[in-house]
Amino acid sequence: MARISLECLYGNGVFKETLVRAITDGRLSHAYLFEGVQGSGKATAAFLSAATLCCTSEEVRPCMQCPTCRKILSAQSPDLSVIGLDALPFDGHDPAKPTEKPRSIGVDAIRALRSDAYILPNDLEYKLYIIGHADRMTVQAQNALLKILEEPPTGAVFFLLCENRAALLPTVLSRVQRLNMEQFSDDALYALLCRYDREASMLSARDDALLRLYVRLADGAYGRALFYVHAQKKELAQDEAYAAHEGAMQCLALLFADSYSDDSPVLRGGEGVLERPSLTSVAARITSLLPGKDGAENRSRLRALTGALCVAVRDLTMCACGVEGQLLFYPSHEQPAVLAARCRAKTLSDTGRALCVLLEDMDANPNVGMLTRSLAGVLMGLRR
Ligand SMILES: [Zn+2]
């Protein structure tokens, strides 16, 4: 029998081992749930698994080359249905691009899938279904899916992908085999990028701190890190985590602007404002960082910004207290050490605490204008 290898999926040892064993032993489940954050490789894993099941190679499966593999990886087979995915992982695009408005998956889509599932395959050995963002299925859609999962048609295999399985009904969860995608450590992710991605390895030579920042923002997800490395400036600005990080840098730069000359590295991303910051100017800067149209979107951005500031102030506090340990906001100790020297450790830790309280308040308080002023007020505390 051909050897099974999912090596195109980086890391994820436990995941691959479980799946390979199930396929080798003929104990394949009819439904899998792959859970992991955005960009953690769920879709890649689903397409590779689908290809493995049907590949015709006598050596290694999936071979990625045979007509069957090609058809599956490009989603061209009539026996493979894909719903809810924003992009295909093997079409050369980055899979982890931030999506526009999240759309729910309605009952009609699942009903269509259900009537298809009972028709025998005529192209592949199996009928394969990949449901991206399964956690966006409405309750009716989940109940419709449940009917198929309870009496699965022979030869049908379902791959449900989700970021948050809490959004799925317990009855659905009990019918699927769950596998978690690996969350890489920063170091592991950095090493993978430098090894497998040309642009990333070029970036590490050109601006290593930037690559490390991307790794940090990717939060252990290879696909997200790839997105950051390959994204255009405009795409980066739309990414919430990136925008929050840049915004936090700008706010802190503004707060300490008058104590530096405008070529200071601290002002990176700022505009070199040299007058003394005030509550009004800080609030105005925060407002300028919000997308501006949609209230909910503004609130979510403000929340992310406050979260990023929380982490930044935590790093600054560590530096001010001389605590060793991994920084979570800054890629190196240089910048925060300079900033921390401007503040008392007590001021920093008070500010950090106030930011955490504000972050909790944000869920209860919908008024973006008021929250913006509160955030500016907390930040001005750093000047004390
Ligand atoms: Zn093949």
**CA 340 to ligand 1 center in whole angstroms:** 56
CA of 65 to the centre of ligand 1 (A): 5
Estimate the share of the chain in helix, then strand, then coil, as percent rounded to the nearest 5: 55, 10, 35
Cα 265 to ligand 1 centre (Å): 52
Is there a single domain that holds both residue 372 and residue 292?
yes
> What is the CA angle 7-9-12, rounded to 5?
100
Instruction: Give 3 Cα–ligand 1 centroid separation in angstroms.
Output: 12
Interval between CA 7 and ligand 1 midpoint (Å): 14
Q: Is residue 196 part of a domain?
A: no
Secondary structure (3-state) at 326: coil
CA of 8 to the centre of ligand 1 (A): 13
Which residues in the chain come in under a pLDDT of 70? 92-102, 258-275
Q: Is residue 214 part of a domain?
A: no
Same domain, 313 and 168: no
Inside any domain, residue 355:
yes
Q: Say if residue 143 is in the same domain as residue 248.
A: no
* pLDDT score at 220: 93
**Sequence-distant (≥ 6) Cβ neighbours of residue 188 within 8 angstroms:** 11
Joined tokens for residue 29: 């489940």
**Beta pairing partners, 130:** 82, 159
pLDDT of residue 94: 52
What's the gap in Å between 258 CA and the centre of ligand 1?
Answer: 63
Read off the pLDDT of residues 162-211 as tens digits, 9 standing for 90 and up: 999 999 999 999 999 999 999 999 999 999 999 999 999 999 999 998 99
Three-class secondary structure of residue 331 per DSSP: coil
Give distance in angstroms: CA of 303 to centre of ligand 1. 46
Separation of 43 CA from ligand 1 center, angstroms?
18
Are 243 and 349 within one domain?
Answer: yes
Say how many Å lie between the CA of residue 368 and the centre of ligand 1.
53
Distance from residue 119's CA to the centre of ligand 1 (Å): 24
Same domain, 141 and 281: no
Span from the CA of 1 to the centroid of ligand 1 (angstroms): 14
Last residue of a domain, one of 129, 155, 180: 180
Counting the structural domains of the chain, the total is 2
The answer to whether residues 278 and 167 belong to one domain is: no
User: Cα(273) to centroid of ligand 1, in Å?
Assistant: 59
How remote is the CA of residue 48 from the centroid of ligand 1, in Å?
A: 10
Whether residues 47 and 171 fall in one domain: yes
Q: How far apart are CA 359 and CA 16, in angstroms?
A: 38
Task: Determine, yes or no, domain membership for 199.
Answer: no
CATH of residue 156's domain is 3.40.50.300
Å from CA of 107 to ligand 1 middle: 34
Integer-rounded Cα radius of gyration of the chain: 24
Which 3-state string (H, E, C) describes 217-261? HHCCCHHHHHHHHHCCHHHHHHCHHHHHHHHHHHHHHHHCHHHCC
Show which of 145, 180, 215 is a domain's final residue: 180
Give me the pLDDT at residue 82, please: 94
Query: Can you give the residue range of the structural domain that contains 347?
Result: 239-383
Query: Residue 294: its pLDDT value, please?
Result: 75
Does 18 lie in the same domain as 151? Answer: yes
User: Same domain, yes or no, for 48 and 170?
Assistant: yes
Full-model pTM: 0.82
Distance 68 CA to ligand 1 centre (A): 6
Q: Verify that 249 and 154 share a domain, yes or no.
A: no
In this structure, is residue 332 part of a structural domain? Answer: yes
Q: How far is the CA of 69 from the centre of ligand 1 (A)?
A: 4
Distance 216 CA to ligand 1 centre (A): 35
CA of 146 to the centre of ligand 1 (A): 31
Last residue of a domain, one of 159, 180, 201: 180
Q: Is residue 22 part of a domain?
A: yes
Return the amino acid letter for 115: S
* Cα gap 308→193, rounded to integer Å: 24
For residue 269, the model assigns a pLDDT of: 44
Residues 373 and 263 in one domain: yes
Is the same domain home to 174 and 245? no
CA of 54 from ligand 1 middle (Å) equals: 7
> Is residue 307 included in any domain, yes or no?
yes
Residue 186 covered by a domain: no
Amino acid at 340: A
In angstroms, how far is the first alpha carbon of the chain from the final one?
71
53 three-state secondary structure: helix
